[in-house]
Amino acid sequence: MRRRDFIRLLGGTAAAWPFAAHGQQASMPVIGFMSSRSPEDSMYLLAAFRQGLGETGFIDGQNVAIEFRWAQGQYQRLPVFGADLVSRRVVVLTAVGGETSALAAKQATSTIPIVFVSTDPIKLGLVESYNRPGGNATGSFLATTEMEPKRFGLLHELVPGVPLIGALLNPNVPEAARQLSELEQAARAVGRHLFIAKAGDDEGLNAAFSHLLQQGIGALLVAADAYFDTRRDRIIAFAAQNRLPAVYHFREYAFVGGLISYGPSVTDAYRQAGIYTGRILKGEKPADLPVVQPTKFDFVINLKTAKVLGLEIPPTMLARADEVIE
């Protein structure tokens, strides 16, 4: 059986860990790494995590082992992954890919140190405060869902003549209600009509695509969500095939054909997760490590995609962009 087939057979539960490390785990600490995303769309994020880990002196397979668990956008897997990794007595539990992974890790253990990459950890009850997290968890506050009104504003500015804007939203995440409310408020504030299509799995995504087209939307906002990240190529292809200007939360969307993106650097957050994981392996406690908050948000425009869509990007918008892909 080929390794790729073996990974698929496991359903993503242990994809992409170094097999050589398993024979060495008795003599080295083990990190449990659980993600809402899939390994295929996370290789650059794993590189950033390993970079941060390396900055603290830990190299995967040499002096530390990593057990990987990938939910591949199926969030119901995460509590099982958390419990499994805790039963294996990992030294640190790294939970990435959004709040669903962090909450599942927190549910699984109150003693094993947790390093997360998540939306607002105070609102989620993961930490007591940013400066003094308390408890057994710390990490990076990845402010993605908080930026939905800003992304809507950019789309409104880009296509002011479009009568109806569509938004793709995953109802299966804790932040969904707030995302919905803030998007509706943003639309009302500028007098725009908004149609919300909800999807949390592949069947729902296909149905959402159909509903968006049936409504006759003229532009698309893809709400921040790890499941959508795992289906990034499909969503970008849908927008391209239907000539829809679209806005996304991570710059990686713009780099693979999305029109515009606005949000914090996810690679920086994963690198920081690696650094904190390494510092905890060296003996520091999560309660003493402040939650890292984003200080910079990247606005990226793909001019190649704009030209394909026949869309003129306003000069004022181009001037504000942090990066323009030509």
pLDDT at 6 over 90: no
Mean pLDDT of the chain: 90
Give the C-alpha separation, 187 to 193, whole Å. 6
Give the C-alpha separation, 91 to 284, whole Å. 12
Domains of the chain: 3-143+265-297 (3.40.50.2300), 145-263+298-325 (3.40.50.2300)
- Could you list the beta-strand ranges (E) of 90-206: 92-96, 114-118, 137-141, 164-169, 193-198
Least trusted range by pLDDT, from 21-30, 171-180, 251-260, 317-326: 21-30
CB 238 within 8 A of CB 209: yes
CB 185 within 8 A of CB 121: no
pLDDT at 304 over 70: yes
Mean pLDDT of 15-36: 65
DSSP β-bridge partners for residue 165: 194, 219
What pLDDT band is residue 26 in, cutting at 50, 70 and 90?
low
Give the C-alpha separation, 254 to 247, whole Å. 9
* 320 against 6, higher pLDDT: 320
What pLDDT band is residue 296 in, cutting at 50, 70 and 90?
confident
pLDDT at 8 over 60: no
Residue-level pLDDT at 12: 44
**End-to-end Cα distance, the chain:** 43
| DSSP state letter for 171 | T
Nearest residue to 119 via CA among 136, 103, 135: 103
Exposed / middle / buried, residue 108 (Cβ in 10 Å: 0-12, 13-18, 19+): buried
pLDDT at 79 over 80: yes
| DSSP state letter for 133 | -
Residue-level pLDDT at 16: 38
Residue-level pLDDT at 175: 86
Mean pLDDT of 244-256: 94
Mean pLDDT of 95-116: 94
Residue-level pLDDT at 275: 97
pLDDT at 10 over 50: no
Backbone φ and ψ for 142, nearest 5 degrees, come out as -95, 95
Per-residue pLDDT tens digits for 143-175: 888 899 999 999 999 999 899 999 999 998 888
Secondary structure class of 220 (helix, strand, coil)? strand
pLDDT at 113 over 90: yes
Nearest residue to 133 via CA among 297, 271, 275, 293: 293
